[in-house]
Structure 1
Amino acid sequence: MKPKPSATARRPSGWRATAPKARKTCVTPSATATTPRADCKYAAPAILRNPDTRGRSFSARNTKEHSMPSFRFLAATVLALTLISTAPSLAADSPSTLYKKNKVTLLLGTNAGGGSDLGGRIIAKHWPEIAGSDMIVKNMPGGGGIVAVNYLVNSCRPDGLTMHMMMFGSSYQLPYLTKNRAAKYDASRLHYVLGAYQEPWVLVASGKFSSLDDVARAGNLTYGIMNPLEGNNFAMLPVLEALQLKAKVVTGYKSQQEALLAVAKGEVDITMGPLSQVMREVDHGVLQKPFLLMERERSPFIPDVPTFFEAVHVTPEIDVLYEQCRPLCVAVRMMAVPEDTPDEIVAFLRDAFTRMAESESFEADARKAFLLGGNCLTGQELQDFIRTAFNVDFSSIMEKLNKYSQ
């Protein structure tokens, strides 16, 4: 049998191999010269460029039959994504679900160890019982809380997952009333969800003084505070005026605790401190017993400490000054979230903290740290307090305080 001629032998004489014509392609800066752009009219359908189809021949009919399902799938995908992106807000998590699924950060505008820090950590401990998730405490001292509130308002999403707690006066009220340029926020527009650990101020002195009379007789006194617009500065003003003390304010302490320790060390002569915080240091032997309580009636927790009205001769003018200063020196730790926080989240937080304030376990822990316990502002009482606090006229008070800052 004769062998079959090879393919080469069957080629006609004069035959010459020629390279196939290169197909026209479109390229982008990110594409290579051999990669057709999907929207180029010269590029073959994706199915023809599939490595599994190499070497096959496709008719126009086959191409259409294979490409049509791809286009239908693409159209269905685009439609589905559009529906998802425009779905109603009902698909979003409810506030209850949001807090069960996410941890919360509590910013404290003070160093660790002070009253606000201790109070904040008690709230963080009981948050899981109320919301079902953890609360992380982050200390951010500076400016009496202004640094922390700046961070809350300008660097955090208003999603209710970051809150701030600090003394109301130094962090919120006074920066607003004085138009403090360091405060990059309008405190009157924040949402306040809890006021906690209300307590009166007491006057404490360094060990070189054994009574209020010693303080009254002294000259060139110094008193330490966090900043000139701190609540205890306004609490101190009626005392300074009534006793006609020659005193100068020393500012810059990052927390109430630092100011109290400065008194204990003799770095400054006197200061005003929250009742519970002062008595804790008294029990530890760090401070001596306070000389007076800035209230009209004695406290059952320190029954032997006289009130301001008992310890000092109060003229009608001083009485008026006392009442003017009261809205500016309420010692209450206030919890706030940014103004753009959704209403339903704000409502949930207010309700959650109301339930926490009514919790026996929270109150038990609060009483271990604060003589008056949680003593919380919630509900309508909280909103009434906020409304009044941001409508105080204190120009005359500032005039009196300025002479102690020179």
Structure 2
Amino acid sequence: MTFSAKNLPTIRRRRTMSLHLVPTLGVLLLGVGAMTTQSAAAQDDAYPEEPVELIVPWSPGGGSDTLMRIVANHVEEHLGEPMPVINMPGVSGTTGLKTLAEREPDGYTMGQVHEGLLVAHHTQLTPINWDDFTPVAAITSSPQYLTVNADSPWHSFEEFVDHARQNPGEIRFGVTLGGMPHLHAAMMEDAEDISFRYVGFEGTGARIRALVGGHIDAAMGDISSSGEFVKNGDLRFLAVGSDERMEETPDVPTFAELGYDNLSLNIVRGIVAPEGTPEAQVQTLATALEQTSQEEEFAEAVHNAGASVHFQGPEAFADYLERTNAIVERLAGKLAK
């Protein structure tokens, strides 16, 4: 049996069979069934027997790449096999996921997703959506910062908004077109009735480098991609999308405390498998990731990368993706411009 987002309501359904057979044949069939069950259990116990690849559909150096490499480095102890990271960037993070969807559901290829896939789907960049995969687990959550070049005239979100209101379409805002940074920027536009000029980049690393170089005026960043640049005086954080101020940036206000309750800007990163991956293998992977999430060293590494540990098992992660999908579907029209 397989575990899939599309069969969640029936995951525990079992078909029964009424046998009207002679006793001798019934005993024989029961014996064969027991042997088959034991064989399947032995196969499950053996999994995995080789490395489990993790496709990260973004370029090296960005938040997804950094965090998934931390996951891969720590999960091996609990999984029993390495989890090599394979970067496959392109088309707003959908090229690698298209490849994942075409892989055999044998438990030896996983992929990283976040809410950006939902945005890409509802802006028609890809026909693939979250329910074309089998959710395995959510593992981290990263608050997003409105980030500007340190040479810019803006030292607060209020100053940034005032400039945008007085100069519609002037601010060059770097985003992954059809991705979560695009949606987050559009949410700011909607909140204050302002407009930006969007410049597209593949991945966080590329747009943050462009921001440091002065090629754009603003971008959504996080600690892992932008924190060192802020410390070095190259960039400036104006506001953060977390519920409370972050320990690493105590002087940066949250959007909520600035009066924007609807600007909760976070990225939850998780792992999915090709649709049809056996339930036993999904549970083995989820268990290994849950054990990883409980390690102090892992939590510290994730924290140092500007994120927090946020574990959800297969069903809880599927529920989160389903709820978020409804929100993105409602707001996606703002990105079609």
The TM-score bracket by the shorter chain reads: 0.7 to 0.9
| Aligned Cα root-mean-square deviation (Å) | 2.6
More relative contact order in 1 or in 2 (CA 8 Å, sep 6+)? 2
Distance 1:258 1:104 in 2: 28
Q: CA deviation at 1:401?
A: 3.8
Cα deviation 1:63-94 (Å, max 9, x = unaligned): xxxxxxxxxxxxxxxxxxxxxxxx83643553
Q: Label 1:267 to 1:348 Cα distance change in 2 as closer, same or farther (>3 A).
A: same
1:143, CA displacement in angstroms? 1.7
SS at match of 1:107: strand
How many angstroms does 1:150 deviate by?
Answer: 0.6
Identical columns (%):
23
Q: Does 1:269 align with 2:217?
A: yes
Query: Does 1:392 pair with 2:327?
Result: yes
Q: Give the match for residue 68 of structure 2.
A: 120
Q: Show the counterpart of 2:26.
A: none
Change (3 A) 1:223 1:120: same
2:251 maps to 304
Query: Which of the pair is proportionally richer in strand?
Result: 2
Relative distance call for 1:342 and 1:240 in structure 2 (3 A) is: same
Q: Which amino acid aligns with 2:82?
A: D
Report how far residue 222 of structure 1 moved: 1.1
2:104 maps to which residue? 157
Q: Equivalents in 2 of 1:292, 1:174: separation in Å?
A: 23
Q: C-alpha displacement at 1:181, in angstroms?
A: 5.8
Stretch of structure 1 that moved more, 351-360 or 301-310: 301-310
Change (3 A) 1:373 1:245: same
Q: Report what 2:152 is aligned to.
A: 208
* Structure 1 residue 267: Cα displacement: 0.9
Q: List gaps (5 residues or longer) in structure 2.
A: 1-34
Deviation of 1:335 (Å): 0.7
How far the C-alpha of 1:275 sits from its partner, in A, is: 4.1
Give the counterpart letter for 2:153 in structure 1: F
Q: Which amino acid aligns with 2:241?
A: M
Assess if the C-alpha contact under 8 Å between 2:133 and 2:273 holds in 1.
Answer: yes
Paired amino acid for 1:249:
Y
Note if contact 1:169-1:330 (Cα within 8 Å) is conserved in structure 2. no
Deviations 1:87-138 (A, max 9, x none): 8364355334121x21111111111111111111111112220111112111
Mapped contact 1:282–1:288 kept (Cα < 8 A): yes
Higher CA-based Rg? 1
d(CA) in 1 for partners of 2:54 and 2:246?
31
What is the letter of the counterpart of residue 170 of structure 1?
G
Alpha carbons 1:165, 1:336 under 8 Å: kept: yes
Amino acid at match of 2:155: S
Name the count of aligned residue pairs.
296
Is 1:377 the equivalent of 2:337?
no
Q: Which amino acid aligns with 1:384?
A: D
| Distance change (3 Å), C-alpha of 1:174 and 1:90 | farther
| 1:196 counterpart residue number | 139
Shift of the alpha carbon at 1:304? 1.0
| Counterpart secondary structure, 1:374 | strand
Q: Secondary structure at the match of 2:271?
A: strand
Kept in 2: contact 1:110–1:141 (CA 8 A):
yes
Matches of 2:96 and 2:318, distance apart in 1: 22
Q: Provide the secondary structure at the position in 2 that maps to 1:111.
A: coil
C-alpha change, 1:240 and 1:192, in structure 2 (3 Å) is: same
The aligned residue for residue 163 of structure 2 is: 217
Give me the whole-angstrom Cα distance separating, in 2, the residues matched to 1:359 and 1:94: 28
Amino acid at match of 2:221: G
1:352 to 264, 283, 288: 288
Aligned match for 1:170, one of 107, 116, 128? 116
Shift in CA distance, 157/89, structure 1 to aligned 2, threshold 3 Å: farther
**Corresponding residue for residue 77 of structure 2:** 129
List per-residue Cα deviations over 1:224-248 (Å, max 9, x = no partner).
1111x21122222343244443421
- d(CA) in 1 for partners of 2:328, 2:64: 27
Partner of 1:290: helix, strand, or coil? strand
Question: Hey, what does 2:30 align to over in structure 1?
Answer: none
Cα distance in 2 for residues equivalent to 1:108 and 1:175: 16
Equivalences for 1:61-72 in 2 at 5 Å? none
String of CA shifts for 1:240-269, please: whole Å, max 9, x gaps.
244443421111x11111111111111111
CA distance in 2 between counterparts of 1:91 and 1:401 reads 52
TM value normalised by structure 1: 0.66
Aligned AA (2:211): V
The CA deviation at 1:345 is 0.9
Q: TM-score scaled by structure 2?
A: 0.78
Q: 2:298 and 2:334 mapped to 1: Cα distance?
A: 41
* Cα displacement (A) at 1:296: 4.8
1:335 is matched with: 271
Could you tell me how far apart the structure 2 residues matched to 1:190 and 1:286 are?
Answer: 42
